[in-house]
Amino acid sequence: MKTTKTTFLLALFLCFTFNLSQAQQAYQVHQDNVKPSMLMEYEKIAKEFNAASIEHNLQTSWFTAMSNDFRYYYITPIKNFAELDERPMADMAKAMGDTFGEMFDRFDKCYDSHGTYIIMKDDALSYMPEGKSDAPADENYRKWFYMYYAPENAKNMREGMMAVKAFFAAKGSTEYYRVYRNGFGQMEHYYMVSVSAKDEIDSATRGKVNEQVLGPDRWDVFSKIMKYATRMEEISGEMRPDLSYSPKTE
């Protein structure tokens, strides 16, 4: 029994490793679900933490995003699972002494739940201009569309996502998007479509224009996804450059 269990765990790990290596980019995401009543306190501490990271030239980096329901996402690109064993904050914690721990104690009072997981960017399903893979720097507003599905429908969902991408291309749509999928540390299967804009008004305006570009046939194509989705969520938010960080370069 012990041998069987070990073999199973090894196969599971190799499966995760294979999936990670096949993705164009994997990201470690730390998510804080901030209590509305503690929003301003959380913002204050987050800015203090960024300032401390700059002062100590912390040797890691992250992008920060915030949703309209007060979830904060700290997103770090990773190359492999070995990076998860690294302790980039060890030197900073040693230098700051008790202040470092106290800062995180204050963070902990701002949320009832938080956690870390991995997501995968899927370029094969993303719809972007030729040669581009990321959103324009001046487009920090986001719409995130989550489409959850049962494992048995993975193939059908992927085919539906490919059909939507082909449809956008055939219609000459300029409403571009990037696709991410669940990775290690998450229980549910989903695709997340990220659509950027300059602000909420720009997002709504471009969405209306895109409806006209795609026309009524869009519903037939979208149904190839919707009929296999167990549920769908639409969340708005924004990227937070002021809470993002990267170390100084020489």
Rounded CA-CA distance 211/213 in Å is 5
Q: Which two three-digit tokens encode residue 3?
A: 């041998």
pLDDT for 81 equals: 81
Q: Is the pLDDT of residue 120 over 80?
A: yes
| Mean pLDDT estimate for the chain | 91
With a cut of 50, say whether residue 18 has pLDDT above it: no
- Dump the DSSP string for 73-132: EEEEEESSGGGGG--TTHHHHHHHTHHHHHHHHHHHTTEEEEEEEEEEE-TTT-B--TT-
For 122-238, CATH number?
Answer: 3.30.70.100
pLDDT at 92 over 90: yes
Q: Residue 63: which of 217, 171, 216, 194 has the closest Cα? A: 194
pLDDT value of residue 250: 60
- Give 15: exposed, middle or buried? Use CB within 10 Å, 0-12, 13-18, 19+: exposed
Domains in the chain: boundaries:
19-119, 122-238
So what's the pLDDT on residue 166?
Answer: 98
**Confidence at residue 249, expressed as pLDDT on a 0 to 100 scale:** 76
User: Residue 85 has what pLDDT?
Assistant: 84
Topology match between the domains 19-119 and 122-238 = yes
- CATH classification of 19-119, choosing from 3.20.20.150, 3.30.70.100, 3.90.1150.10, 3.40.50.1100? 3.30.70.100
Quote the pLDDT of residue 69: 96
- Res. 17 pLDDT band, cuts 50 70 90: very low
Taking the chain, what is the end-to-end CA distance rounded to the nearest angstrom? 54
Q: For residues 248 and 9, which has the higher predicted lDDT (pLDDT)?
A: 248
- Secondary structure of residue 241 in the 3-state scheme: helix
pLDDT at residue 4 is higher than 50: no
* Residue 105: predicted pLDDT: 96
Q: How far is CA 100 from CA 91, 174, 237, in A?
A: 11, 46, 29
How do residues 33-53 score in pLDDT, each as one tens digit? Answer: 999 999 999 999 999 999 999
Q: 192-236 pLDDT, tens per residue? A: 999 999 999 999 999 999 999 999 999 999 999 999 999 999 999
| pLDDT surpassing 60 at residue 11 | no
Question: Hey, which bits of the chain come out as E strands?
Answer: 25-34, 63-67, 71-78, 111-121, 141-149, 178-182, 189-197, 229-239
Q: How far is it, in rounded angstroms, from Cα 239 to Cα 244?
A: 9
Residue 2, pLDDT score:
46
Structure tokens, 58: 């912390």
pLDDT at 23: 45
Query: For 150-174, what is the mean pLDDT?
Result: 98
Instruction: Say yes or no to pLDDT of 75 above 90.
Output: yes
- Ramachandran area for residue 193 (φ above 0: left; ψ -120 to 50: alpha; else beta): beta
C-beta of residue 207 within 8 angstroms of C-beta of residue 148: no
